[in-house]
């Protein structure tokens, strides 16, 4: 944990107010006050005139002026004007500020103690052969669904091949998964019927084994296909 600072931006305007007291036409006293006014939102362009104000507070001694005027006639206007007093108020925006509110805080560091980079090279060909699976009735036909992962670098390459044996691995017959796109463009059957595409006519078979052959192009040793799931559908004939 390390000490640090964090915060957020803000906009503010420096405003100056000048109050000028006067009697008749002569300034008697001037007062100045300056403050910083924060804005509700941040912006790069501000109309400074919206903060300006110019007004005047006037006091007229009418009663006194009328009394004097009644006594000495023509001197009324002069004395009445002389006794007028007031305050001129001028408010102006002087500067536009942009800044940050900064606060003390703490941060936690995340460090990597070690980094390992691995590279895998795959064999051009590999085989996976299953154990023997038995069924209670003679096998009539076999089909296959395969969830595959084929590298995108070469979709036309024959990355995966599937074979089925019903004679304990003595002979193998290739089968095309029904999940493959464009399966009708290949001569490999998607359904193996006993006595036709696989096995001998008149024989009964109660066991199944499968074999998966994985391949890669010769110049692409860093790529390999993936088989996520296999599902065989076996139909049986009654005896």
Q: Which CATH number do you get for residue 146?
A: 2.60.120
* 226 in the same domain as 135: yes
DSSP state for residue 74 in the 8-state scheme? G
Supply 38's token pair: 């924060």
Q: Domain residues for 59?
A: 2-107
The model's pTM is 0.52
- Residue 68 domain-assigned? yes
User: For residue 86, how far is the Cα from the chain centroid?
Assistant: 62
Task: List per-residue pLDDT tens for the chain, 239 residues long.
Answer: 778 887 878 888 899 999 888 776 666 788 899 988 888 777 667 777 888 888 776 665 544 444 444 444 444 444 444 456 778 888 888 888 888 888 888 877 777 878 888 878 889 999 999 999 999 899 999 999 999 998 888 878 999 999 999 999 999 999 999 988 765 556 899 999 999 999 999 999 999 999 999 999 998 888 999 999 999 999 987 65
* 163 in the same domain as 80: no
Sole residue written with tokens 């007028």: 84
* 77 in the same domain as 153: no
Other beta carbons less than 10 A from residue 225's beta carbon: 19
The CB-based long-range contact list for 186-194 (8 Å cut-off, 24+ gap) reads 190/143, 190/144, 191/141, 191/142, 191/143, 192/141, 192/142, 192/143, 192/164, 193/140, 193/141, 194/138, 194/139, 194/140, 194/141, 194/166
- Residue 113 domain-assigned? no
pLDDT at 3: 84
Q: How many domains does the chain have?
A: 2
* 162 in the same domain as 87: no
* 135 in the same domain as 35: no
* 145 in the same domain as 101: no
Q: What is the four-CA torsion angle of 104, 110, 111, 112, rounded to 10 degrees?
A: -160
* 171 in the same domain as 221: yes
* 103 in the same domain as 131: no
Other beta carbons less than 10 A from residue 11's beta carbon: 17
- Residue 189 domain-assigned? yes
Task: Kindly give, in sequence order, each residue whose CB lies less than 8 Å from that of residue 3, ignoring residues fewer than 6 positions away.
Answer: 104, 105, 106
DSSP state for residue 238 in the 8-state scheme? -
Whether residue 17 contacts residue 33, with contact meaning beta carbons closer than 8 Å, is answered with yes
* 81 in the same domain as 177: no
Minimal CA–CA distance to 163: which of 209, 111, 108?
209
């Amino acid at each position: 944990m390390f000490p640090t600072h964090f915060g957020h931006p803000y906009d503010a305007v420096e405003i100056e107010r000048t109050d000028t007291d006067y009697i008749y036409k002569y300034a008697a006293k001037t007062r100045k006050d300056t403050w910083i006014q924060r804005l509700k939102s941040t912006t790069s362009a501000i109309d400074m005139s919206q903060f300006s104000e110019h007004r005047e507070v006037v006091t007229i001694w009418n009663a006194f002026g009328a009394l004097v005027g009644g006594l000495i006639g023509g001197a009324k206007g002069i004395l009445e004007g002389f006794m007028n007093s007031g305050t001129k108020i001028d408010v102006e925006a002087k500067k536009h500020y942009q800044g940050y509110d900064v606060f003390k805080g703490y941060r936690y560091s995340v460090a990597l103690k070690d980094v390992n980079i691995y590279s895998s090279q795959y064999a051009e060909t590999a085989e996976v052969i299953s154990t023997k699976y038995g069924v209670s009735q003679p096998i009539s036909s076999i089909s296959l669904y395969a969830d595959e992962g084929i590298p995108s670098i070469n979709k036309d390459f024959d990355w995966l091949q599937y074979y089925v044996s019903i004679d304990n691995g003595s002979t193998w017959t290739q089968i095309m998964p029904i999940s493959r796109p464009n399966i009708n463009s290949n001569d490999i059957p998607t359904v193996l019927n006993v006595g036709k595409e696989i096995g001998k006519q008149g024989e009964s078979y109660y066991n199944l084994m499968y074999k998966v052959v994985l391949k890669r192009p010769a110049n692409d040793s860093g790529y390999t296909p993936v088989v996520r799931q296999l599902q065989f559908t076996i139909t049986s004939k009654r005896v």
